[in-house]
Amino acid sequence: MTHGKLIACHECDLLQREVPVPERGALRCRRCRAQLYRELPNSLDRALAFSLAAVVLFAVSNLYPIVGLSVSGTVVETTLLGAVEVLYLDGKWPIAGLVFITTVLMPILQTASMLWLLIPLKCNRAPWGGPAIFRLFRFCQPWGMTEVLILGLLVALVKLSAIAGVVVGPALWSFAALMFVLAAAGAAFDTRSLWARVATVEHINAQPDLDEASLHGSLTAAQCGLAQCHDCGLLASVRANAHTFDCPRCGAAMHVRKPASLSRTWSFLVAAMVMYIPANMLPVMYTNSLFGTENDTILSGVVYLWTSGSWPLAIVVFVASIAVPMLKILALGYLTISTQMHSRWYPIERIRIYRMVEFVGRWSMLDIYVITMLVALVQFQALATIQAGNAAIAFGAVVVLTMFAAMAFDPRLIWDEVERDHARTGENA
C-alpha cells in the first residue's frame, strides 16, 4: 500500500498529487488550469516586511490630507476619514459605511492579522488564536480595495481640476505606495508556507497523508468522501452524514459543495438586477452652483470626461461603472442557468468566465470613490456644493450584491455533470 500527499483543486475538485515546483513557479490543475500553489522563496519574511511597511503608510495616508481645492484664497482639504464623515453627515450613511469598510477597516484588519500571525512565527512561536486570525485574514482579503480607491482618486482629480486649483496632499502619494505594498504583502503571504511553519513550531504533521490505494479509480475529492478547506487548503475526510463541518486545522466551515449555492446566487443576482435600474437612471450627484442645479448620472459623468478630453479615463469609468456590473450579472446568470440545466458544454470556458467575474468584481467601486471625493471637497457654500444622490446607494448595492453572488456560486458544480457523464459513459462501455 502506498501513501502520498494529495490535493484537490478548489475550482473543479480534481484530486492530484503534490509535486515539487521550481522556485517562483506555480503548480496548476491539469484539468481546469487553476493555480494550486506557488513556490515562493522567503515568502513569510517578505510578507512580514511588507506588512510592517503598510502600517507606516496607512498611518500617513489617514493622518494627512489626500487632496485639496483652492478657490479665491480659500482652501478645502480632506482626509479619507473626513470624506467618509461628510457622506455620513449628508445622510448617505450606507455609502459612508461601504467606503469606510473597503478602504479603512478591511485593509487594517488584513494587515493586522498578517502581523499577528507572522511576528510570533518569526520568533519560532505559534501565534495565539492562529486559526481564528487566519480566518479573519481570509474574510478581509476580497473586501480591501485600496487599488480601486487610487484609480477613483485619479478620476476625481480630473473632475476637480475643472472646478478649482487642485492641491495634491501627501496622503495621495502614500496611498499610491500603500496600494503596491498591500498587493505585495498579499502576494507573498503563502498559505502553504504558513501552515507548514505552524506545524514545524508546534511539532505536528502539516497535513495527514491519505491512503492513495483506497482512492484508485476516483477522480474528485467528493467521490472519495473528501473535502478541501477553502481557507487553508487542508484535504480532510467528510464525516458520516455531515453536510458541513469545521476544518480540523483552521476551524473554517467545510462542505463537499457550497450549501444552496445556486439558489443563493440567484437571490443575490435578482436583487442586483433590481438595484441596477435606479443605479443608472437616478442621479448619483447633485451639483448646486451660481448657475443653478445640475443632476449627474453615471453615464453623464462618462460623457463629461470624454468631452473634456480625458477619454482614457472616460473609457475606464464606462467599463468599470456601466459595462462591468451589467456583464457580471449576465455572466453569473449564464453560469447559474447552464449549471441548473446540467450542461456539459465548454466547462473550461465557463470556469474562465467565473474567474473573470471574480477578478473584476471590486473594480465597479470606482464611481463610489469618485463621488466620495467630490462630495467631500466641493463644499464652497457661496459658489458650489456637491451632494451624493440616491443612485450612489443603489450602485453600491449592485457592487456588493454581485460580489456576494460570485462568492455564493460553487464552480465545482460545473464539473459535477462532466463527472456524471464520464460515469455513464464508463457504465455503457
Residue holding cell 436583487?
271
Q: In this structure, are residues 103 and 83 in contact, taking their beta carbons and an 8 Å threshold? A: no
Stretch (H or E) spanning 98: helix 93-100
| Whole-Å CA distances, 235 to 5, 14, 99, 133 | 9, 12, 36, 20
| Residue 31 DSSP label | T
C-alpha cell at 305: 470626461
pLDDT, residue 423, reads: 59
What CATH number belongs to 256-429? Answer: 1.20.140
Residues 6+ apart with CB under 8 A from 80: 61, 62, 66, 103, 104, 149, 171, 175
SS3 of 162, please? coil
Mean pLDDT of successive 10-residue stretches along the chain, which has 429 residues? 67 87 86 87 92 94 85 77 89 92 94 95 91 94 90 83 79 91 91 88 58 57 86 83 81 88 95 93 77 74 79 82 90 94 88 91 86 78 71 92 94 85 56
Q: What φ, ψ does residue 15 adopt, rounded to 5°?
A: -80, 135
Q: What single-letter amino acid sits at 182?
A: L
pLDDT, residue 48, reads: 95
> Quick count: other Cβ atoms within 10 Å of Cβ 309?
10
pLDDT, residue 246, reads: 87
Residue holding cell 467565473?
354
DSSP secondary structure letters along 358-396: HHHGGGGGHHHHHHHHHHHH-EETTTEEEEE-HHHHHHH
Per DSSP, what are the bridge partners of residue 292? 289
Closest listed residue to residue 248, CA positions, set 218, 215, 205, 213 = 205
pLDDT, residue 154, reads: 85
- pTM comes to 0.88
C-alpha cell at 323: 459595462
SS3 of 145, please? coil
| Residue 144 DSSP label | -
Question: What residue segments make up the domains of the chain, in order of their start?
Answer: 3-39+208-248, 43-204, 256-429
pLDDT, residue 115, reads: 96
Residue holding cell 455503457?
428
